[in-house]
A and B are shown apart, each in its own frame.
Chain A
């Protein structure tokens, strides 16, 4: 039943390709993938490749990290061109330069493979954004 599993999504992300799901009923885009449309709940979905382009809506600099990760690093929520928001990390700027004027800045997508965290079911692949302006 799954059109796009988390493993397939991670595999594409490793090639800097952002795979999402388009709802056959309301046409909304769901990303990261799940069993049902994130807007209307319909299970009728088809795979679609997204631009990976968007703008930062909010951010933070994590200075106290969970075990297995090293601070500081930046976490962002970006609004993609196609509508959904996507969480990732931001590279290319120093944490000290992460200020309110980041909000609204355009970003493009890369990726980062995360290993070494305990209590996970294998590695993770994270959207790694960089500023596009």
Chain B
């Protein structure tokens, strides 16, 4: 297997926009290609993530249209992948394996999502399609519902009173908005207070509005190539050190999902491949679709003992400058969560951080970064480890 590196990355500003799926994708993809000192003609394959295009724009068979939009010639295979919110990370892992195998030398990977035109009822319905269609959807399960049940499970299991846990969760929102305020591509670039989080309306007991990430439009893209090509083309290639992916069925099959087995397995694969452990990670962009989700992810990835993640937030361990800075970009919570793009947007942040280009939100001296992307109710989880 060959060593693989990231040459360039691109990303749109996240948030509601009039741009179409094709236009959003092209903006990110062309930026990534330009940053790689390449042209569209150099790309040998495209892997692109998108979840809801069928419902948002009535657009299936998306990959060919996206390839055409950015000027890839007819000989270039373009493949759409879908794994709910983990979509773009799956695309990244596929692209990585094709380059690592030697089959391709230069591959473009990206993700794109457009939901702002769908309206909340249809968007909520379409998102819920990432739960089990026979045994969860008919119960009226929504994604806030999944993580609301996780919150109650966590509080009960670890003997933490719900008001205490809610405060710890609110600190996740405050931290991530603080980070997002320093990210010019974030959907929300404003600090929020504990009071604002804890007084926002109840979406799904006990999750309030500011426990939840927003609906977002946006795109992100990454160019991967062999290490030799990367070193010849760009000044600061970022190496792909490890990848992992895990799978799971409906929540009822997973039982106590405070420990998400698909995520634990995925992270273990990535650490093993990179030859490192959780304590070697300098920063992590992880899947904070809800405040409790960040806490549980930080435990499953091994940064904190199970049951200790919520207290770690209170201690400031996950702030920039803390023991393990989590979501310096603002995370899904503040940066936004265009679900088909999120995995590549996490890679975008890690690459910029490892190159030292993040300005006020820079994690000093970062050498190794990790991403964590959760699809559905842990049905698909991907972890990526990058390093310089």
Interface residues of chain A, those whose CB is within 8 Å of chain B, are 6, 32, 34, 38, 57-69, 73, 75, 77, 79, 84-89, 95, 98, 100, 103, 114, 117-121, 124-126
Contacts and interface: CB of A to CB of B under 8 A. Distances in A.
A62 B136 CA distance: 13
Contacts of A66: 121, 124-125, 128, 140, 142
B150 to A, nearest CB: 8
Contacts of B256: 57
B19 interface: no
Nearest to A114: B138
Given A58-B152, A60-B204, A67 B124 contact: yes
A14 to B, nearest CB: 13
Interface residues of B, number: 40
Given A32-B135, A60-B152, A100-B152, 12 more contacts: A34-B249, A60-B206, A62-B142, A62-B145, A62-B204, A63-B205, A64-B144, A75-B149, A87-B136, A98-B205, A117-B125, A124-B137
Given A32-B134, A77-B149, A89-B139, A58 B125 contact: no
Contact of A62 (B138, B140, B152): B140
A65 B142 contact: yes
Contacts of A125: 138
B249 A38 contact: yes
A74 to B, nearest CB: 9
B133 interface: yes
Contacts of A73: 140
Contacts of B133: 120-121
Contacts of A75: 139-141, 145, 149
A29 B206 CA distance: 31
Nearest to B152: A58
B167 to A, nearest CB: 15
Nearest to A128: B139
A126 B249 CA distance: 18
A7 to B, nearest CB: 10
A60 B125 contact: no
B316 to A, nearest CB: 27
Interface in B98-137: 120-122, 124-125, 128-129, 133-137
B122 to A, nearest CB: 6
A67 B122 contact: yes
A87 B135 contact: yes
Contacts of B278: none
A45 B203 CA distance: 40
17 contacts: A32-B134, A34-B249, A58-B152, A60-B205, A60-B206, A62-B204, A64-B142, A64-B144, A66-B124, A66-B128, A66-B140, A75-B140, A85-B252, A87-B139, A89-B140, A117-B125, A125-B138
A102 B350 CA distance: 42
A77 B131 CA distance: 14
B145 A118 contact: no
A61 to B, nearest CB: 4
Nearest to B161: A100
A57 B155 contact: no
Contacts of A117: 125, 137-138
Contact of A126 (B138, B145, B153, B251): B138
Contacts of A65: 121, 124, 140, 142
Contacts of A85: 251-253, 255
Given A89-B140, A118-B125, A124-B134, A60 B155 contact: no
B250 interface: yes
B60 interface: no
Contacts of A69: 140
Interface string B366-379: 00000000000000
Closest 3 CB pairs of A and B: A124-B138, A60-B148, A66-B125
Interface string B241-257: 00000000111110110
B156 interface: yes
Contacts of B148: 60-61
Contact of B156 (A6, A103, A124): A103
